[in-house]
Homo-oligomer: A and B are copies of this chain.
Amino acid sequence: MATVQWRMTRLLAHYQVGGPAADIEARAAALALEQSIEMPLSAVTSDYVRQQVVATVEAIRPLEPDLHRVTLGIATATVGRDVGQLMNMLFGNCSLQDDVVLCDIELPPALLATWPGPRHGLAGLRTLVGAGPRALTMTALKPQGLPPAELAALAATFATAGIDIIKDDHGIADQDYAPFAARVAACQRAVSRANARTGGHSVYAPTLSGGPRQLAAQARLVREEGLRMVLACPMLMGLPAFEELVRHDLDCAVLAHPAFGGAARIAPPLLFGRLFRLLGADATVFPNHGGRFSYSPATCAALARAALAPWQGIKPCAPVPAGGMSVERVDEMLAFYGQDVILLIGGALLAAGTALPERAREFVTRVQQAGVSTGSVVP
């Protein structure tokens, strides 16, 4: 990793940012605001916020004619101690901007010490399977759909062959055809018996899955059965849940699987319109067209329809188009979305400075007095 003179109150975040060189300084400055205070700098009155909270542009370096590496200095005070909030500060909003890729980070020592890293690590894994300084072997139990006895038979075969690590396929969760408890007991016993027979040290690693309650129950069973390794998909369970699981509920080794690492490419109407709704969101915020993000009017319309359309008795979820909206756009947005919408205006109100109370009131009045639109995108 790069050696830097740490500015102890900042972490460094490196992004690749697309777009013409003539605009890159302004683009980088906008990115710094997006990833810190998310409002116009001119509207910030607190000296502390200006000096200690607003992200700084630390470097801009050309990579290709229309591609730059932009380095931001993000205040560690904004992160606290939560990995979810770390990801939020790094890539919360700009993950939604098509021209930005988060490339790398550099954390000052005090912040880095917040997270433990691997408990066993590579050397511990080698010890676990009785290996010297060689590469290790791993395979997967599959296909899902097999009952525990058949998965266990497969595990025995692999263990007998001396494969170091035998993991569940990451698609094997807690399905009815191979419930977690029965499967884990059967596979673990099969591997232990094979080891006893061969003198080997194969390890079985089941897939953990589910929400926090199910994960905690599975971790208990893992301890009770004496398992020494598990497989987990951090992006599926959520990085904060993954972090807690590893820190508090497990002491065995942990394999991370990249499943769901590409969620950006889920169509926004599905992810933000339907899935969030399905899981219980009463309202869903999304980047409106013509704002700071790149969604098209067609995407926004589809998203609003997805959130509102009849769907087998599931209540409609309120669409909340946002991201650089202004009081001036109220009428146009109501014409576009109709009345089944929540208008979210943040920075543009604060930009009014001392006229904020009036500006906010104007926002309210415009919406309350708007006539019912007939040209809405929502049927």
Contact = CB atoms under 8 A, between A and B. Distances in A.
Closest 4 CB pairs of A and B: A238-B238, A95-B262, A121-B315, A264-B264
A226 interface: no
Looking at A135, A137, A238, A247, which has the most chain B CB atoms within 10 Å of its CB? Answer: A135
Given A211-B244, A240-B210, A259 B92 contact: yes
Nearest to A120: B282
A280 B364 contact: no
Copies of the protein in its oligomer: 2
Contacts of A364: 137, 161-163
A281 B232 CA distance: 9
Contacts of A286: 258
Looking at A101, A112, A212, A284, which has the most chain B CB atoms within 10 Å of its CB? Answer: A212
Interface string A75-106: 00111101111011101111111001111110
9 contacts: A38-B142, A46-B150, A49-B146, A92-B260, A93-B170, A138-B320, A163-B360, A238-B240, A255-B283
A347 B334 CA distance: 53
Given A135-B367, A286-B258, A363-B163, A234 B279 contact: yes
Contacts of A287: 258
Contact of A46 (B77, B91, B145, B254): B145
Given A104-B270, A211-B240, 15 more contacts: A1-B309, A44-B143, A78-B175, A80-B174, A82-B210, A83-B211, A95-B263, A96-B262, A102-B267, A103-B267, A117-B280, A139-B344, A140-B346, A254-B283, A256-B281
A60 interface: no
